[in-house]
Amino acid sequence: MTSLSSLLSSHTETLNTLYSSLTSSPAPLIAKRLAELEETVKIELNKQTKEIESLISQEQERLSTGQNKVRDWLIALGEYVAESSQDKEEKGTLEERVKQVELRIEGIRGRIKERGEEVVVVQKELIEMRKVLGGEEWDGVKLDDEGLVARGEWEGLDLRRERFDELQVERERARNELVSSRTK
Q: pLDDT tens, 127-173?
A: 888 877 776 555 556 777 777 777 877 877 888 888 889 889 988 98
Instruction: Please check whether residue 118 lies inside any domain of the structure.
Output: yes
Instruction: Please check whether residue 20 lies inside any domain of the structure.
Output: yes
Mean pLDDT computed over 106-121: 89
CB 159 within 8 A of CB 119: yes
What local confidence, expressed as pLDDT, does residue 135 receive? 66
Instruction: Please check whether residue 1 lies inside any domain of the structure.
Output: no
Instruction: Please check whether residue 86 lies inside any domain of the structure.
Output: yes
Instruction: Please check whether residue 177 lies inside any domain of the structure.
Output: yes
What local confidence, expressed as pLDDT, does residue 54 receive? 98
CA-nearest of 103, 122, 130 to 171 is 122
pLDDT one-digit tens code per residue, 47-84:
999 999 999 999 999 999 999 999 988 988 888 876 54
Instruction: Please check whether residue 2 lies inside any domain of the structure.
Output: no
Taking the CA atoms of residue 174, residue 175, residue 176 and residue 182 in that order, the dihedral angle to the nearest 10 degrees is 110
CB 29 within 8 A of CB 18: no
Instruction: Please check whether residue 171 lies inside any domain of the structure.
Output: yes
- Please tell me the pTM assigned to this model: 0.67
Domain that includes residue 109, residue range: 8-182
What local confidence, expressed as pLDDT, does residue 86 receive? 53
What local confidence, expressed as pLDDT, does residue 101 receive? 96
What local confidence, expressed as pLDDT, does residue 156 receive? 76
C-alpha span between 74 and 129 (Å, rounded): 31
What's the structural domain count of the chain?
1
Q: What is the DSSP letter of 155?
A: T
Q: What is the DSSP letter of 136?
A: P
